[in-house]
């Protein structure tokens, strides 16, 4: 691991030496492979330790190929339109990959200030070299562990927090607990939004536990997924949202507009509001941080 990663500092911002090149690259946490997208000439898929992590179209930052990222974008747009100032947006990304979502939001909200937290310092350097990312202060990449960085931030300094952190196919448990949700709530400014990607199996136990944790901390929660996922028919992604201010409610014009947008993708999805979430998690205990070991008794 690089010195920057060990110290939790921002990654260097080197000048791009010539753009992306297909191949396998050693990174701090294993191996990254950059593969041309055979179905979209000029686009690239980044695999991290064998798992597809990001899709990037260098010429079209507004293009999001992964469906769950489109769902995140739809939730962000709906929330910004209702509660936040698009000319002064502050976004924290927990999990970097190839910075696809950060590139998208930089295109959608040119005045936004964004910080991407990426555990792998070498990967952060490569992504800066491969792709035309906005420069600091519009987009900074900070090397560090997502929870540690979140805990270090000043209260009420972020309008949107996006969590998309995976170790293999699962999110590290310390980022799924009630206590972590409280750290995110502390960092969010009034009216802020927390949106997170939850990869889950057919029993949906992870999504239930995460929504239970969010419901204990935030007054308003919601979810987006495709119908097959919500019915427990396959492994996939559920995008969750939480805020101290209202999210679109069932039957509202905002929920109807969001629903129409979600139905327009290659994988049509559904938006579920807080009432659905309460029913979905009924009786499910949230995850909590492990209790610290008891102090040794004095002799």
Work out the average pLDDT over 149-172: 94
Q: What is the pLDDT of residue 1?
A: 36
pLDDT at 94: 98
Please name the residues in contact with 36: beta carbons below 8 A apart, sequence gap of 6 or more: 22, 43, 44, 45
| pLDDT average, residue stretch 71-97 | 96
Label residue 14 by pLDDT band (50, 70, 90).
very low
Say if CB 284 and CB 214 are below 8 A apart.
no
Whether the pLDDT of residue 230 is over 90: the answer is no
Q: Which of 127, 112, 192, 125 is nearest to 156 (CA)?
A: 192
Question: Tokens in use for 139?
Answer: 């987009």
What's residue 216's pLDDT? Answer: 97
- The active-site residue, picked from 120, 159, 164, 226, is 164
> Three-class SS of residue 48?
strand
Q: Are 175 and 205 in contact (CB under 8 A)?
A: no
What is the number of residues in the chain? 299
Mean pLDDT of 47-52: 93
Q: Which helix (H) or strand (E) holds 5?
A: helix 3-7
Please tell me whether the peptide bond between 137 and the residue prior to it is cis, using omega within 30 degrees of 0: yes
Is the model's pLDDT at 22 over the cut of 50? yes
Nearest residue to 193 (alpha-carbon basis) of 84, 43, 35, 48: 84
**Has residue 124 got a pLDDT over 80?**
yes
Half-sphere exposure of 109 (CA within 13 A, CB side): 23
Whether the predicted pLDDT of 265 surpasses 90:
no
How far apart CA 25 and CA 148 sit, in angstroms, is: 27
162 φ/ψ angles, rounded to the nearest 5 degrees: -110, 120
Quick one: pLDDT at residue 2?
Answer: 38
pLDDT of residue 239: 97
Domain boundaries of the chain, sorted by first residue? 62-280
Q: Name the pTM for this structure.
A: 0.91
The Cα–Cα gap between 286 and 178 comes to 7
H or E stretch covering 90: strand 90-94
Q: Is 164 a catalytic residue?
A: yes
Who has greater pLDDT, 73 or 19?
Answer: 73
pLDDT at residue 12 is higher than 70:
no
- pLDDT exceeds cutoff 50 at 218: yes
Sheet holding 44-48, edge to edge: 23-27, 30-36, 44-48, 51-56
Residue with tokens 């010429």: 59
pLDDT value of position 234: 79
Asked whether residue 142 carries a pLDDT value surpassing 60, the answer given is: yes
The whole-number pLDDT of residue 5 equals: 38
pLDDT tens for each residue of 90-122: 999 999 899 999 999 999 999 999 999 999 999
118 bridge partner residues: 143
Task: Give the per-residue pLDDT at 11.
Answer: 42
CA distance 51 to 244: 34
Round the average pLDDT of the chain to a whole number and report it. 91
Any idea what the Cα angle at residue 118 is, between residues 101 and 77, rounded to 5°?
Answer: 20
Q: Is the pLDDT of residue 3 over 70?
A: no
Residue percentage of the chain with pLDDT more than 90: 79
The CATH superfamily of 62-280 is: Vaccinia Virus protein VP39 (3.40.50.150)
Backbone conformation region of residue 110, classed left if phi is above 0, alpha if psi is from -120 to 50, else beta? alpha
Q: What is the pLDDT of residues 186-202, one digit of tens each?
A: 999 999 999 999 999 88
Q: 71 pLDDT exceeds 60?
A: yes
């Amino acid at each position: 691991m690089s010195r920057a990663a060990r110290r939790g500092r921002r990654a260097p911002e080197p000048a791009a030496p010539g753009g992306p090149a297909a191949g396998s690259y050693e990174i701090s946490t294993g191996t990254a492979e950059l593969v041309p997208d055979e179905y979209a000439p000029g686009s690239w898929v980044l695999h991290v330790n064998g798992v597809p992590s990001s899709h990037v179209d260098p010429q079209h930052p507004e293009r999001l190929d992964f469906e769950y990222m489109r769902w995140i974008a739809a939730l962000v747009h709906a929330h910004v339109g209702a509660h936040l100032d698009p000319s002064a947006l502050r976004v924290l990304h927990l999990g970097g990959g190839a910075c696809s979502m950060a590139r998208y939001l930089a295109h959608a909200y040119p005045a936004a200030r964004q910080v991407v937290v990426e555990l792998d310092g070498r990967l952060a350097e490569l992504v800066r070299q491969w792709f035309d990312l906005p420069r600091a202060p519009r987009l900074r990449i900070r090397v560090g562990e997502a929870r540690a960085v979140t805990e270090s931030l000043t209260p009420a300094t972020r309008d949107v927090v996006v969590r998309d952190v995976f170790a293999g196919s699962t999110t590290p448990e310390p980022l799924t607990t009630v206590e972590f949700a409280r750290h995110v709530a502390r960092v969010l400014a009034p009216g802020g939004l927390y949106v997170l990607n939850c990869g889950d199996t057919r029993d949906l136990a992870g999504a239930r536990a995460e929504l239970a944790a969010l419901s204990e901390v935030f007054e308003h929660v919601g979810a987006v997924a495709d119908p097959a996922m919500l019915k427990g028919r396959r492994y996939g992604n559920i995008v969750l949202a939480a805020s101290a201010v209202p999210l679109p409610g069932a039957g509202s014009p905002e929920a109807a507009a969001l629903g129409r947008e979600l139905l327009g993708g290659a994988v049509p999805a559904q938006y579920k509001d807080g009432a659905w979430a309460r029913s979905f998690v009924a009786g499910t205990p949230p995850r909590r941080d492990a209790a610290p070991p008891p102090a040794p008794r004095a002799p």
